[in-house]
Amino acid sequence: MKKTLSILFVSLFALALILLASYGYTQYRRQKVNKIVVHIQRNGTMGFLDKKKIMSIILKQDSVTGKLIKSINTSKIERKITRNPYVKAVDVFLNISGSMMVNVTERTPLLQIFTLKDKSCYIDSDGNLFPLSNHFSPRILPANGYIKARLIMGKNIHDKMYRNTFLPGLYLLAKKIRANHFLKANISQLFVNSRGNIDMAPELGRFIFHLGDSTNMNIKLENLEAFCKKVLVRGAWSKYRSINLQYTNQIVCTKK
């Protein structure tokens, strides 16, 4: 008998919880959206996007505030926001207080590409191409010179069409430079010369680092860092015209 009563009690309690949850969900869906809260995640305080721009995308076709929560299609709103080329990801949801929360992750530019045909775009940290902005110009590593590639926004440098271009090698080099505090502080520009090799210009000194092609890149950059720390920090910046890193077992310097 006690066992039967216990089972009955547990069953009634579970049913009550289900009914309470169902009632709460129904009441939640009958609420009206009272405000839109936009949060933009990015590196730094300035960027390509602002809250006003995101709000205009949301409200372009339809008003949201004052509508019933059950009538809001958050997936549709996410798709609209994702069409913006500076948006990496977006998450839209409605909380229990009736606020629509919009969390936007902005693309992080890694490299700015300039082609021989005077076309330019950014490459983000994931290798995606996206356009320049009239409102914001980030301070990032530029790459120019004999770069022959068709820049198609939304494409990735790992796509087949870029396999035989300089973009994958430049992207990899830029990632390694950004990840190394010393190199990031001392390399100001990448340049593809007429021979198809990569040169790097330093922040200080009127000379060039000749990297060569993108093979053995880790060893070459390690050699460069070691050379700079042991030689150039002694004030020898003005003695050299070029520093050749093409050979993995030595560094060849040309004096002025």
pLDDT tens string 171-228: 999 999 999 998 998 899 999 998 889 999 988 767 788 998 888 899 989 888 888 8
- In a domain? residue 14: no
**Closest to 56 (Cα-Cα) out of 80, 85, 72, 79:** 80
Judge if 125 and 251 occupy the same domain.
yes
pLDDT band at 236 (very low <50, low <70, confident <90, very high): low
Q: Answer yes or no: is 9 within a domain.
A: no
Which of 80, 106, 132 terminates a domain? The answer is 106
Domain presence at residue 100: yes
pLDDT at residue 39 tops 70: yes
Give the model confidence (pLDDT) of 187-202 as tens digits.
999 999 988 899 999 8
pLDDT at residue 124, as a whole number: 97
Owning domain of residue 238: 109-255
| Residue-by-residue DSSP string for 116-143 | TTS-EEEEETTSBEE---SS-----EEE
User: What average pLDDT does the chain have?
Assistant: 84
What CATH number does the domain containing 193 carry? Answer: 3.40.50.11690
Let me know: does 101 contact 39? Beta carbons within 8 Å: yes
| 87 and 194 within one domain | no
Residues 88 and 141 in one domain: no
- E strand or H helix that includes residue 192: strand 187-192
Does residue 54 form part of some domain? yes
Do 162 and 245 fall within a single domain?
Answer: yes
Helix (H) or strand (E) holding 199: strand 198-202
One domain, residues 99 and 143: no
Q: Is residue 20 part of a domain?
A: no
Helix then strand then coil, in percent of the chain rounded to 5, is 35, 25, 35
What per-residue confidence (pLDDT) applies to 84?
96
Of 66, 84, 106, the one marking the end of a domain is 106
Most confident of 59-73, 194-208, 224-238: 194-208
Contact 33, 100 (CB under 8 A): yes
Last residue of a domain, one of 106, 135, 157: 106
pLDDT by residue (tens digit) across 142-156? 999 999 999 999 999
CA angle 144, 150, 156 (to 5 degrees): 90
Q: Buried (b) or exposed (e) across 64-88, using 16+ Cβ within 10 A?
A: beeeebeebebeebbeebeebbbbb
Domain count, the chain: 2
Q: What's the gap between Cα 44 and its chain centre?
A: 12
CB atoms within 10 A of CB 28: 15
Tell me, yes or no, whether 119 and 59 share the same domain.
Answer: no
In a domain? residue 25: no
Residue 79's CATH number:
3.10.20.310
Sheet with 87-94: strands ordered across = 35-41, 99-106, 87-94
Q: Are residues 115 and 237 in the same domain?
A: yes
Do 64 and 122 fall within a single domain?
Answer: no
| 237, pLDDT greater than 60 | yes
